[in-house]
Amino acid sequence: MTRSVRDWRVKLMQAHPRLFGIPFGRPDAAKGYPNCEEGWRDLLERCCVRIETALVGGGALTVVQIKQKFGALRFYWTGDLPDAAKAKVDEAIALAAARSACTCETCGAEGRLYSRNGWLATACPEHAKGELKPIRLGFENIHIVRTFGPGRFPIVSCRRYIRETDCFVDVDPKSLESRSSGMARITRDWRIDLIEAYPDLFHPLPNNPGVAEASPECGAGWQDLLERACARIRAAAQADGGSFKFTQIKEKYATARLYWEGALSPEADARVEEIIDLAEARSACTCEVCGAEGRLHRAGGWLMTRCAAHGQGHSVPEKPGWENVTISRVDARGAKTVVVKRRRYVRETDNFIEIDPLIIGEGG
C-alpha cells in the first residue's frame, strides 16, 4: 500500500480524534483504521462530520471497525449515547453505507455491484472486474432497515437512497411485495440469526444485538456447519466455566477459518480446537453457496469449495488416498514437542478417523 493511499486514512482519524482511539505514534494500529479504498473517503468524511454533530448534545463514541464487506461499507462503533444522539449516529452510518453501495470503492464515481469468482465489489465501469450483478426491477438502491419492538418482532422499513441529494426517501414495502417472494426472505440475514442465537460466543455490540466483530464472512452454504460448531463450543465453554469470544470467522483458501480468544482450561481448550477442526474440515468438502457436498475449484487465482452446480473454473485434482485428509501440527503445552495429527474427515458422520502415515507418506 503506497504512502499516499495510507495517508488519507490517517488524516481522517486525526481530523476526528473524538471518534478514533489512536495509539500514540501508531495510527495504523487504531481499531477503527479504515479498511477500504480511497473511493469511499468522501462518504466516510461526511459520516464522521455527521456523527460529531450528533455528539454535540452529549455522549461518547469510539469507532470499532470500518471495512468493506460484500461490496458495501460496514461501520461499527461502541459507546454510551442518549437515544436522540444514537438515532442520528445510526442515520449517518446508514447514509454512508447506502452511498458506498453505489460508489466505486477505487475512484469515488457512481458504481454498481460486481461479482468476481464469489468476491463482491462496488465499482464503476472503468474499475470493474468480473460480472455485473443484476438488480431486481424496482429494488434499485433499496435499503431495508430492521429494528425490534416489544417481543422482538421485526419491524421492517424500506427506503430508497438518492445519490444526487445524499438522502433517503421512504418506500412502501407493499409496493415491493409483488416483486418479491416475501419481505422476510430479503430482510433476515442468517448471520444475524447466528449472532443472536449465540451472544455468549459472539459478544455483539451493545447498541446492536445483531452485529459483532466476528460476523461470518462466508456464504450461506456454511451456515449449518457454523451452527454445529457454535452449539458444541457453547456446551464446552459452559461446562468449563471459562470465557470464549469469536474474533473472526471467514473463508480463506476455500475453507472456513474460525479464530477466537478467551480463558479456558487445557481440556476445554483442546475440545474447542477439535470442534473448530471439524468445522473447517467440513467446509473443505461443502459448497459455500448451497451446502451440498463440494470439491475444491480454481478459477484464475481464486480457490473455492463448490458443488458441480455452483463450480467455477475447474476442479482441483486430489492425490489418490488424500481425499479429505487433514494434517495438524500442534505445539504441545509446556513443551517444545510437536504433535502431528493425520486424520480423514468423514462427512457422513461428521467426525475424524485416524489414518496410518504410511498410507499417505510422511509428506505434507
H helical segments located in the chain? 3-15, 41-54, 83-100, 174-177, 183-187, 190-197, 199-202, 223-240, 266-283, 357-360
Chosen domain end from 144, 160, 194: 194
Task: Quote the pLDDT of residue 232.
Answer: 96
One domain for residues 26 and 146:
yes
Verify that 129 and 41 share a domain, yes or no: yes
CA–CA separation, 94 vs 54, rounded Å? 14
Domain boundary among 161, 194, 227: 194
Q: What is the pLDDT of residue 4?
A: 41
Q: How far apart are CA 141 and CA 122, in angstroms?
A: 13
Residues 71 and 181 in one domain: yes
In terms of domains, do 145 and 16 share one? yes
Mean pLDDT (10-residue bins), the chain, 364 residues = 61 91 76 92 97 90 90 92 92 94 96 85 93 79 58 58 92 61 49 90 77 86 96 96 93 93 94 95 94 90 89 84 66 50 88 74 47
Number of structural domains found in the chain? 3
Say which DSSP state 81 is in.
-
Q: How far apart are CA 222 and CA 287, in angstroms?
A: 8
Query: Domain end: 316, 334, 351, which one?
Result: 316
Range(s) of the domain holding residue 51: 3-194
* Whether residues 239 and 186 fall in one domain: no
Q: How far apart are CA 239 and CA 236, in angstroms?
A: 5
0.75 exceeded by the pTM?
Answer: no
Q: Are residues 239 and 359 in the same domain?
A: no
Whether residues 225 and 362 fall in one domain: no
Whether 283 and 166 map to the same domain: the answer is no
| 190 and 78 in a common domain | yes
Q: What angle do CA 314, 248, 276 make, to 5 degrees?
A: 75
Instruction: Specify the pLDDT at position 115.
Output: 86
Q: Which residues contact 306 (CB under 8 A, 6 or more apart)?
A: 287, 288, 289, 294, 295, 297, 312
Query: What pLDDT score does 215 carry?
Result: 87
302 contacts 117 by C-beta, under 8 angstroms:
yes
Asked whether residue 154 falls in the same domain as residue 270, the answer is no
Cβ 246 vs Cβ 264: under 8 Å: no
* Assigned C-alpha cell, 171: 418506500
Instruction: Output the pLDDT for position 339.
Output: 53
Question: Who contacts 87 (Cβ-Cβ below 8 Å, separation ≥6)?
Answer: none
Let me know whether 50 and 175 are in one domain.
yes
If asked whether residues 170 and 222 sit together in one domain, one would say no
Spatial separation of the C-alpha atoms in residues 163 and 140, rounded to whole Å: 11
